[in-house]
């Protein structure tokens, strides 16, 4: 059996499994998926908000975008700290699908931009609430579960703000 562990390590490295699977003792697939999806989601929120700051003069939208940058930057830092304890690193960029949506959003102007940004934020925060609720209720890693639970009131407030945002 002495030679079995190195062989498994080599096999894991060859299959590309060394990152999130081998480096995350005490976590489940739920936890690892949460870290990845929450990282992408937060980065997408920040990227869309930065875009909004350049695309509109609508004061409601500008205030919302500034709040998204501030709150999601803080949430990302907390997620990163909680994930680090398990050898996980949340992505700092939106997923490729989110990047494509952000690019498409950036091509819009005026009311079309405002309407799409508002709808995007409602959808993104609805999804984020579901993601963070699932981790809060089913996550194995206490630090991640706690971070998810603490973020939920902020995300719910963001959803209400997005729904109330004028266009």
CA dihedral 112, 132, 95, 42 (to 10 degrees): 70
Give the pLDDT confidence of 131-150 residue by residue, as tens digits: 999 999 999 999 999 999 99
Main-chain phi, psi angles of 134, to 5 degrees: -60, -45
pLDDT band at 24 (very low <50, low <70, confident <90, very high): low
Quick one: tokens of 67?
Answer: 């709040």
In this structure, is the dihedral angle defined by the CA atoms of residues 40, 37, 118 and 63, taken in order, positive or negative?
Answer: negative
Task: Output the pTM of the full model.
Answer: 0.84
Q: Give the model's pLDDT for residue 20.
A: 40
**Percent of the chain scored above 70 by pLDDT?**
85
Question: Cα–Cα distance between 42 and 65 in angstroms, integer?
Answer: 13
Question: Cα–Cα distance between 72 and 49 in angstroms, integer?
Answer: 10
């Amino acid at each position: 059996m002495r030679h079995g562990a190195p062989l498994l390590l080599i096999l894991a490295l060859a299959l590309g499994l060394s990152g999130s699977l081998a480096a995350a003792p005490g976590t489940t697939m739920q936890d690892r998926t949460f870290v990845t999806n929450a990282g992408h989601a937060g980065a997408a929120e920040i990227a869309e908000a930065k875009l909004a700051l350049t695309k509109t003069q609508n004061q409601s939208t500008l205030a919302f975008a500034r709040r998204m940058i501030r709150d999601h930057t803080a949430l990302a830092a907390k997620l990163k700290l909680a994930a680090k304890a398990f050898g996980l690193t949340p992505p700092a960029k939106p997923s490729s699908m989110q990047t494509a949506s952000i690019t498409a959003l950036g091509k819009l102007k005026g009311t079309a931009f405002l309407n799409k940004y508002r709808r995007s934020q409602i959808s993104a925060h609805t999804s984020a609430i579901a993601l963070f609720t699932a981790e809060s209720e089913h996550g194995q890693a206490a630090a991640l579960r706690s971070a998810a639970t603490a973020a939920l009131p902020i995300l719910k407030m963001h959803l209400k703000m997005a729904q109330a945002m004028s266009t």
